[in-house]
Amino acid sequence: MGLTLDKTPLASFFNQLIKLKVEATDQGFYYKNVIAVLESHFSSLLDQTAVKELMNTIHKENLVYIPFLEANQDTANLYINQLRSEVITTTNLINYLSNISDALQSKLIENENKRLELEQLLGIHSVIEQIRSIIDVQSGITDLRTIQYLFKQFLPQKKLDFIGEPVKGLQVMGLLETRALDYENIIMLSVNEGILPAGKSTASYIPYDMKIKFGLPTYTDKDSVYAYHFIGYYNDAITLISYTTQKQIV
């Protein structure tokens, strides 16, 4: 079991970082793209003070485009320098993403409560390096939008595995996996009809009557399997609480 990286908050942050550079014009970066990046809590994690200062400048001066930083205009903050620097080549874009990834990693490592975000970042960093290896081989890739496309294509292929310490913390399991354990206390939330079992949710081109005729499994067989697991996992429980917030209970 796992969660694909494209569904994580950190992936959204990096997508915004790429969009910021890809949609830049000769006038600079469009203010909405800059604000979208700055409003992320990952930006605040990198440098909260500098982020607030830039946000205040945008609002105070009513900027539509935030100009590129010149070589002699570097601020004291590395993160803001990276955001406001112009990206011309695909290699520049990859280096920009890699540098922010490294800076963010050093911040996340300092906080033990950020282990989930750190796992996300390691997956995203592997995607960045995968794209780097492609552009190193394919010298013809010069469009920044190609990097944006590849990033969005590779993210769903990486998963954040639901793996933890077996005797500590939260464990996420499927119904079948629960059969390997006995529980003393069970709390069931909103698992009435249509949830457990799922009901007639099996998509098939074979009509129900044809399945009956030729002895093929139907949704009733699936319900039977769910019923077997249901009975098995609460059979040895000492306390069982079933709770629902639905107004109409089936």
pLDDT of residue 250: 43
Q: What is the pLDDT along the chain (250 residues), one digit of tens a residue?
A: 678 888 899 999 999 999 999 999 989 899 999 999 999 988 988 888 888 988 999 999 999 998 887 654 555 577 888 888 888 889 999 999 999 999 899 888 887 788 888 888 999 999 999 999 999 888 788 899 999 999 999 998 888 776 666 667 677 777 777 777 888 888 877 676 666 766 666 667 788 888 888 988 888 888 888 888 878 777 788 888 877 666 655 4
Residue 96: closest CA among 69, 72, 119, 114: 69
The confidence score (pLDDT) of residue 12 equals 93
Q: At what angle do helices 115-137 and 9-22 cross, to 10 degrees?
A: 40
The candidate with the shortest Cα–Cα distance to 233, out of 183, 194, 198, 161, is 183
Whole-model pTM? 0.67
DSSP label at residue 63: -
Q: How far apart are CA 225 and CA 246, in angstroms?
A: 25
Contact 110, 46 (CB under 8 A): no
- Count Cα neighbours of 151 within 13 Å in the Cβ-side half-sphere: 26
- Kindly state the tokens that stand for 221: 């067989």
